[in-house]
Chains A and B, each alone.
Chain A
Amino acid sequence: DSGVTQTPKHLITATGQRVTLRCSPRSGDLSVYWYQQSLDQGLQFLIQYYNGEERAKGNILERFSAQQFPDLHSELNLSSLELGDSALYFCASSVDGTVGNEQFFGPGTRLTVL
C-alpha cells in the first residue's frame, strides 16, 4: 500500500459524459501528479500540482482539467468523453516535487467509455 488513494477504482460511462476522478496523496506529500496509461499511448504525464498550484502540464487535452484543493487532495475532471479516453488513470504524490524524490502511485482508476 503506497498510501495514495484513488476513487473510484472502476468507472464505466458513455461517450459525451463527464466524470471526476479523485486522489488523496500520502500524508505530508505536497505534490500530486496525474498520469494516463493507455494501450496506444503508453504511460503519459498529464499534469502536476504542488501545494495547490499547477506546476507542469503534459499532454492533457483541453477537455480535461484538474485541481488541487487546500487539503491537498486532487481531482481530475474529464468531459465530453470519447472512446479513446478509456485508460487507466494514475495519481502519484511526492514530498516536494523535486528531482530525485520517489513518486508514490495510487492503485489507479480504470475508466471505460462505451
Chain B
Amino acid sequence: AQKITQTQPGMFVQEKEAVTLDCTYDTSDPSYGLFWYKQPSSGEMIFLIYQGSYDQQNATEGRYSLNFQKARKSANLVISASQLGDSAMYFCAMSGGLSYNTDKLIFGTGTRLQVFP
C-alpha cells in the first residue's frame, strides 16, 4: 500500500530564510507522482509543485523546489526566501502508479509552517 509520512507537525522560520519540509513515501510501484499543496487558514488547497518518479531533475517552481531522493524515498519541499504569506499548512501527497487504475491522491498529515518577522 502507498503511504506518505510527514514527521514535522510544526515548523518555524524567520522571514527571508529558507526552510525544508520533510516528506517520505512508500510505494512498490515504479511509476508515481509526488505533489505538495499549501492550505492557508482560509482552507483552500493550492497546488505548489509536482515531481514524477521518472523525472531526472528536481522540480522547481519559483521559490519552491522539491528535493527528490528516490533511493531514500523522500520528496522534501524547500521554500527559499520565506515570506509572511507562506504561513500555512503544507501537505505532501502521492498519486498512484501503474498498478492502480486511478491517480487519487494519498496525503500526509501535514506540516504547519509559521513565518515570523
Which residues from chain A sit less than 8 Å from chain B, CB to CB? 2, 31, 33, 35, 42-45, 48, 55-56, 58, 88, 90, 92, 94, 97-105, 107-108, 110
Q: What 1/0 flags go to B77-117 for Cβ under 8 Å of A?
A: 00000000000000101011100111111110110000000
B10 vs chain A, min Cβ distance (A): 15
In Å, the complex CA distance between A99 and B45 comes to 19
**Docked complex Cα distance between A44 and B110 (Å):** 12
Chain B: interface residue count, which band?
Answer: 20 to 34
Identify the 7 closest CB pairs spanning chains A and B, nearest first.
Answer: A56-B102, A105-B45, A43-B107, A45-B104, A99-B103, A100-B33, A99-B33
CB of A55 within 8 A of CB of B47, answer no
CB pair A101–B103 under 8 Å, yes or no, is yes
Please determine whether B107 and A55 come into contact, CB atoms closer than 8 angstroms: no
**Cβ contact within 8 Å between B44 and A108:** yes
> Are B45 and A48 in touch, CB under 8 angstroms?
no
Q: Which of A33, A99, A103, A105 has the most CB of B within 10 A?
A: A99
Q: Which residue numbers of B lie inside 8 Å of A, CB to CB?
A: 31-33, 35, 37, 43-47, 50, 52, 91, 93, 95-97, 100-107, 109-110
Contact A42 B102 (CB under 8 A): no
State whether B110 touches A56 (Cβ < 8 A). no
Residues of A with C-beta under 8 A to B101:
55-56
User: Considering the chains assembled together, what is the distance between the CA atoms of A94 and B104 in angstroms?
Assistant: 10
A108-B105 in contact (CB<8A): no
Residues of chain A within 8 A (CB-CB) of B50 are 100, 102
Set of chain B residues within 8 Å of A58, measured between Cβ atoms: 104
Instruction: Determine if A43 and B104 form an interchain contact, defined as CB atoms under 8 angstroms apart.
Output: no
**Distance, CA A48 to CA B102, complexed state (A):** 8
Check if A105 sits within 8 Å of B44, measured CB to CB.
yes
**A109 smallest CB distance to B (angstroms):** 10
Q: Are A98 and B107 in contact, CB atoms less than 8 angstroms apart? A: no
Judge whether A48 and B104 touch: CB under 8 Å. yes
